[in-house]
A and B are shown apart, each in its own frame.
Chain A
Amino acid sequence: MRAPRPQPYLYLILTTPGRTGPRAPLPARRHRRTPAPLQPLPPAPATAAAEPEADLLARLRAGDEAAFRDFVREQTPALLRVTRRLLRSEDEARDAVQDAFVAAFRGLPRFRGDSRLGTWIYRIAINAALAKLRARAGADEVSLDEWLPRFVDDGHATEPSAAWPADAETGAEQAEVRARVRASIDRLPDTHRTVILLRDIEELSTDEAAEALGITPGAVKVRLHRARQALRTLLDPWMRGEQG
């Protein structure tokens, strides 16, 4: 049996308000304050979904074995998908999912219900995967500089950017395009690959990604932009048909 152990990195995330679901699109600007409504708000449309959620939470808190089984079976596929993406190792991805559930089971009494259970554990799993990434020996950090645009002294680009043909993506098999893009993302250093995954693929907000990564929102923006620029450079010859 796995010995539970303290995992302090998880505590931050346990009380953080989250999204409405692991893959739900984020509201455009959640941090904008809206004025207090003058009239009572109509009932939230999520009421129908909230009842089974509250029921599941109550059953989990009561230690209902069937509820735990439902919860684990329902959440594991999405958690495994995100931990696989981040870690690119099946064993480590599964370990991260287990770590997430250990933390979630322990954190249930403190779960305030201000996000959905699925969102909550999804974010715990991201943190667990990021902790494993950080713990890996021999960081693979390479510089992105060679893949970033270069400029001459007056601020013009050293080499003008050529257009990508309009049908570049559709001219190839979709599976081939996907494989090419994923392989190119895998060439990025982890510091930048993870930002692409969290922001562009998992659709965390800048602030959420910053909190998960332990860096400032400004640093998330810079890394994301540089990562996209590097990826654009890696795809550029292929998209222009120069490389088979």
Chain B
Amino acid sequence: MTAIPTCREVLTFLGDYCAGELDPMRTSAFERHLQLCVSCRNYLDSYRRTIVLEREAFADPDLPDPPEELVEAILAIRRPG
């Protein structure tokens, strides 16, 4: 059985844990730590919400029309002369 990791280990490898990239033994050791440690549970929750907030901050479904002068400048690049 893998030893329960410290807070330092949990927070250092939290990105891998969230990405599902820890092996099963390590994942279960992480989860044993999380069951016992309210501070790391809070941290994990806020870490995940940070990622959601990032995505929402840049959610931008509508793309405006391109600036005409830029389109013309780009098209001029390939014209001879």
A residues near B (Cβ < 8 Å) are: 1-2, 4, 65, 68-69, 72-73, 76-78, 80-81, 85, 94, 97-98, 101-102, 105, 149, 151, 154-157, 160-164, 168-169, 174, 177-178, 181-182, 185, 196, 200-201, 221, 224-225, 228-229, 231-232, 235-236, 239
Please state if B77 and A2 are interface contacts (CB–CB under 8 Å).
yes
Q: How far is the CA of A163 from the CA of B73 in the complex (A)?
A: 52
Q: Give per-residue flags for B57-69: 1 if the beta carbon is below 8 A from chain A beta carbons, else 0.
A: 1101001111100
Please state if B53 and A68 are interface contacts (CB–CB under 8 Å).
no
Known: A94-B67, A155-B8, A169-B49. 16 other contacts (CB 8 A): A68-B75, A77-B66, A98-B74, A105-B78, A156-B6, A157-B7, A157-B39, A157-B43, A163-B46, A178-B57, A181-B57, A200-B51, A200-B55, A221-B15, A231-B54, A239-B46
Closest chain-B Cβ to A1's Cβ sits at a distance in Å of 6
B71: A residues at CB distance < 8 A: 69, 72-73, 76
Closest 4 CB pairs of A and B: A155-B6, A225-B15, A76-B66, A160-B39
Q: How far is the CA of A201 from the CA of B76 in the complex (A)?
A: 32
A1: B residues at CB distance < 8 A: 76-77, 79, 81
B residues near A (Cβ < 8 Å) are: 6-9, 11-12, 14-16, 38-40, 42-43, 45-47, 49-51, 53-58, 60, 63-67, 70-71, 73-79, 81
Taking CB as reference atom, which chain B residue is nearest A105? Answer: B78
Closest chain-A Cβ to B5's Cβ sits at a distance in Å of 8
